[in-house]
Amino acid sequence: MNFIKKICCFLVVCLVFVTLISRETNASEGEVTLKEAINIGLQRAKEWNVNAVLSSVNSVDEKMGGSRGETGKRFNWFMFFVVPGTDDYVIIGISEKKIWLFKPGKQTEGPTIPYDEIKLDSSDVLQLAKAKYGLKPGKDWATGYHFTLDRIDGKPIITVVGTDRDSRFTRISFNAQNGDVVSAIHKLPYGGGLISRRNATENLTKKGMAITGVVAGNNKLVVWGDKKTTQFSTTKQPFIEWSQNNGETWTELQVNNYVTHAWFDKNDQLFAATEKELWAGITSKSKGTKILSLDDPIDNIDYSLNNHIAVLSSGNIYYTTNQGESWEQASVPKPFNVVQISNNGDLVGLTEERKILQKINDEWKQIPMPNSNDEPHDMKVINNRLFISTQNGIWIRDLQEKDWRKIKVDEEVVQFIKKGEKLFGYTHRDEAIYTIHTKDEGKPEKVFDAVDLIVLDVDMMRDTLWIATIPNYSWEEMTIEQSQ
């Protein structure tokens, strides 16, 4: 691993550590600019080795209040110093003007930035970025404004990170010696939307939106997601809509907060889960009835064909066998990734350690794998049958039995999508989607090639396959904003 890669890996660990120890405060006395941070670090680096020279600097996200970069200052900074002609380097971390990290090491010699080459400070380039490009602070990730200093193509380059007028991730880089713009780029979305596929013909609607879910009822189709997504958030302008004419027209539904999951019961009654709530009976005229409200976010949710419901939240399972009229609670013995509930009300979970557990009376018992070398990628329960995907194929067994049956599939399926009695599977690297027979053990059929698409959900209504996709993002050059 070369110098830069090693530093980046270490930085990620340090960033998490700083975030965890950060505290909320409105005080900004401890904030410093990039050059002020360098002065603090350089003094300590020179004590370590008189020949130490700066290699790079970057600010670090935190939750300490203050200006969050609005004045070109941050509480937390990391910087790297090297000793030219040697493999010695040191990482120095600063928080509120004090050094909290000092970590020497040895690695391939890195680039150097003599202090006298740094003519501009973070406060200077921030004003330039605002004036030329209308740069705004980040909100969802890398909050506020952030700053980096690196040597690129032999020049000291200061980069300020924020968002453009449409809240898209943006980086503006300047020559630290004269303020010339070196690069101005932002991440623009491409792709995204709802794809319908019928008889090998594909149509795209809701183009550019982040469609995070789709579900088909007897006569209705429901989609949900975000109309104005950014790279780090799909909750900017959340929506849920339904169509009663196979996607030709759509009606927006009333739901509090953004929707994370939705389904129809056998009576075509629509259920929807938000971050901490579960609603039933949603229509175009009513937001329905709230049947569950939790203190902590919903981590995973499942429903059976007769609409038993199981909800996983903060290490507990809340489940109902009467459409939400009453709920029972069970704690999980180990952290679960997936919870499932059968038509009989059996609870089954897939743990973070990739073990399958079934609740029998008041105990959780492990279900043995069909092969000792197998490890489940994913798990679903339909009716009272357990489906698992492994590196060796898809396996099925009744929950009340012990014998496994194997389903032959052309590609390795790593994730399931369950829609009532229908089961779909993503292949490795999400390149294809298969439909998996749940009433017999026929061979799964490929129904969609998902190469170059980010598919989040899929369902089928009669002879039409509906695919929910979200945008991907790529760096594109920016144009200078005109003065308002």
User: Do 172 and 125 contact (CB within 8 A), yes or no?
Assistant: yes
Band of pLDDT at residue 380, cut at 50, 70 and 90: very high
Extended strands (E) in 168-276: 169-175, 181-198, 201-205, 210-216, 221-226, 238-243, 251-252, 261-264, 270-273
Distance CA 371, CA 484 (A): 67
Report domain extents, the chain: 3-186, 189-474
Q: Which residues pair with 252 in a beta bridge?
A: 241
Q: Band of the pLDDT at 257, cuts 50, 70, 90?
A: confident
Tell me the C-alpha distance between 436 and 444, whole Å.
5
Query: Of 115-119, 252-256, 276-280, which gets the smallest average pLDDT?
Result: 252-256
Which residue matches tokens 């009376």? 361
Interatomic CA distance for residues 166 and 11, integer angstroms? 29
CATH 2.130.10.10 fits 189-474, yes or no: yes
According to DSSP, the residues that pair with 169 across neighbouring strands are: 163
What does the pLDDT read at residue 371?
A: 85
- Asked whether the predicted pLDDT for residue 26 surpasses 50, the reply is no
pLDDT tens-digit map of 79-98: 999 999 999 999 999 999 99
Contacts 24+ apart (CB under 8 A), 228-235: 229/189, 229/192, 229/470, 229/471, 230/140, 230/163, 230/167, 230/168, 230/169, 231/168, 231/169, 231/187, 231/189, 231/473, 232/140, 232/141, 232/169, 233/139, 233/140, 234/210, 234/258, 234/470
What pLDDT does residue 481 have? 59
The answer to whether the CB of 103 falls within 8 A of the CB of 91 is yes
| DSSP collapsed to 3 states, 262-312 | EEECCCCCEEEECCCEEEECCCCCCCCEEEEECCCCCCEEEECCCCCEEEE
- Dump pLDDT digits (tens) for 185-211: 999 989 999 999 998 899 999 999 999
Given CA atoms 288, 294, 297, 298 in this order, what sign does their dihedral have?
Answer: negative
Among residues 194, 56, 172, 54, which one has the least CA distance to residue 124? 172
**pLDDT at position 458:** 97
More confident of the two residues 323 and 66: 323
Chain centroid to CA 170? 19
Query: In this structure, are residues 83 and 89 in contact, taking their beta carbons and an 8 Å threshold?
Result: yes
d(CA 187, CA 210): 15
Average pLDDT, the chain: 90
Task: Label residue 66 by pLDDT band (50, 70, 90).
Answer: confident
> Is pLDDT of 103 > 60?
yes
Q: What is the pLDDT of residue 25?
A: 40
Rounded-to-integer distance, Cα 254 and Cα 285, Å: 8
Q: Are 395 and 403 in contact (CB under 8 A)?
A: no
Which DSSP category does 396 fall into? E
pLDDT classification of 7: cutoffs 50, 70, 90 = very low
First to last CA, the chain: 48
Query: Distances from the Cα of 124 to the Cαs of 119, 129, 159, 160, in angstroms?
Result: 10, 9, 11, 10
* CA–CA gap between residue 130 and residue 481 (Å, rounded): 9
Sign, CA dihedral 471-475-476-478, equals positive
pLDDT at 221: 96
66: helix, strand or coil: coil
In the numeric block, which tokens belong to residue 229? 């997504």
- The Cα 347–Cα 143 span in angstroms is 40
Q: Are 241 and 250 in contact (CB under 8 A)?
A: yes
Strand 169-175 to strand 347-351: parallel, antiparallel, or no bridges (unpaired)? unpaired
pLDDT at 27: 47
Per-residue confidence (pLDDT) for residue 274, from 0 to 100: 96
Q: Is residue 84 a contact partner of residue 109, using CB atoms and an 8 Å limit? A: yes
Radius of gyration of the chain (CA): 27
User: 3-state DSSP call for residue 258?
Assistant: coil
* pLDDT 10s digits, 411-457: 999 999 999 999 999 997 778 999 999 988 788 999 999 888 999 99
Contacting residues for 464 by C-beta, under 8 A, at least 6 apart? 196, 197, 198, 246
Can you give the pLDDT at residue 28? 63
Nearest to 182 by CA among 418, 432, 478: 478
Give the β-pairing of 300-303 and 309-313. Answer: antiparallel
Residues 131-183: pLDDT tens digits? 999 999 998 777 899 999 999 999 999 999 999 988 889 999 999 999 999 99
What's the rounded mean pLDDT across residues 277-290? Answer: 94
Q: What tokens appear for 146 in the block?
A: 């952030």
Residue 16, by phi and psi: left (phi above 0), alpha (psi -120 to 50) or beta? alpha
Six-digit token string for 468: 């929910």
Least Cα distance to 164 among 470, 481, 474 occurs for: 481
